[in-house]
Amino acid sequence: MGKGSGFGKVILFGEHFVVHGVPGIVSAIDSATDAEVTQTGKKLDIKDERKAAKGYAEEKRLQQIESIERMLKKMGLDPKLPLKIWVGGTLPGFSGLGASAASSVAIARAIAEELSLKLTNEQVNQIAYEAEKAYAGNPSGIDNTAATYGGLIWFKKNLAGGPSIVERLSVRKPVEIVIGSTGNVANTKAMVAGVAERKNKYPEKYSQIFKQAENLTYSGRKALESNDLKKVGELMNENHRLLQEIEVSSRELDLLVDIARKKCAFGAKLTGGGGGGCMVALTPGKELQEKVAVTIEKEGYEVLRTKIGVEKL
Ligand code: MEV
């Protein structure tokens, strides 16, 4: 049997914009997806035991099968290879936390181990990027990069198809965050396609918003590197506003963002593809983290208490 893992992630700045070449900042979180793979000689058999939002596994089923076929093809293997695959781990199947990319990285590593293939991280990342196409249509590559390498990462997609810019960032010390899940499963592929469509339809409006998003990610990097967490929070708020403008937020995401801000989170925004899924609140210190987390829980939503900027997970 082969085993593998991939990190979950939270995007601090730039989701959606990153698909179109704007830089983004992503942090891995201390929850991961694990996979085990055995060659059986029968048919593809997937057992998904991740804790997930209601309907997540069913909604993603076909995309999951397509992602595995894409991975096998990219590895030069028969896309219909009969494998028995188990998926589990501590990363919940909430949309927005990179669960699809984390599972692709975990499965790619487990397949490689089962078939005694030696893969570098770079190869795992490329294979998972191929798999991400099944879930996101036109992915930027930010999720699989975080899932493969972990840590805090500056990412800029190369729109010409060459290697993307990936730089490791560091913060003075890891910072507490709260992730709140709306419980709604989102279709990342549809969300990404919707943004592309509106960008084509309203080129002037969107080019202004995209310029603001780009400036914001650069400012976010500066604020993170100088440990100006108040500023990081303000910029996250601003990023949420831009995401509302490109129509990827939802009533519940806005509600969770509001609750977090009212409880004095330094900043809050949706994270990932939006349209449901999760929001992230910057809550430095255990006390603030707890205050925000408990309030969201009292409203009936699930939360994850974790940190950004952990070097080694
Ligand atoms: C999803 O976590 C992030 C998106 O920007 C898609 C992508 O970058 O592939 C919405």
Q: How far apart are CA 149 and CA 166, in angstroms?
A: 10
pLDDT, tens digit, for every residue of 199-212? 999 999 999 999 99
Nearest one of 148, 166, 180, 120 to 9, comparing CA atoms: 148
Q: How far apart are CA 73 and CA 191, in angstroms?
A: 26
Please, what are the domains in the chain?
A: 2-169 (3.30.230.10), 175-308 (3.30.70.890)
Residue to mutate, 12, 18, 189, ligand 1, most ligand atoms under 8 Å from C-beta: 18
Residue to mutate, 19, 103, 217, 280, ligand 1, most ligand atoms under 8 Å from C-beta: 19
Residue to mutate, 7, 27, 143, 280, ligand 1, most ligand atoms under 8 Å from C-beta: 143
pLDDT, tens digit, for every residue of 173-230? 999 999 999 999 889 999 999 999 999 999 999 999 999 999 999 999 999 999 999 9
Q: How far apart are CA 52 and CA 203, in angstroms?
A: 37
Q: Which atom of ligand 1 is nearest to the CA of 192?
A: 10
Tell me the pTM: 0.96
Question: From ligand 1's centre to the CA of 260, what distance in Å?
Answer: 23
Question: From ligand 1's centre to the CA of 273, what distance in Å?
Answer: 6
| Helix (H) or strand (E) run with residue 192 in it | helix 188-201
Q: How far apart are CA 136 and CA 6, in angstroms?
A: 18
| pLDDT number for residue 41 | 74
pLDDT band at 312 (very low <50, low <70, confident <90, very high): low
**307 pairs with which residues across the strands?**
176
Q: What percent of the chain has pLDDT over 90?
A: 91
Nearest one of 243, 200, 237 to 219, comparing CA atoms: 237
- What the block records as the tokens of 182 is 């709306």
CA 47 to chain centre: 22
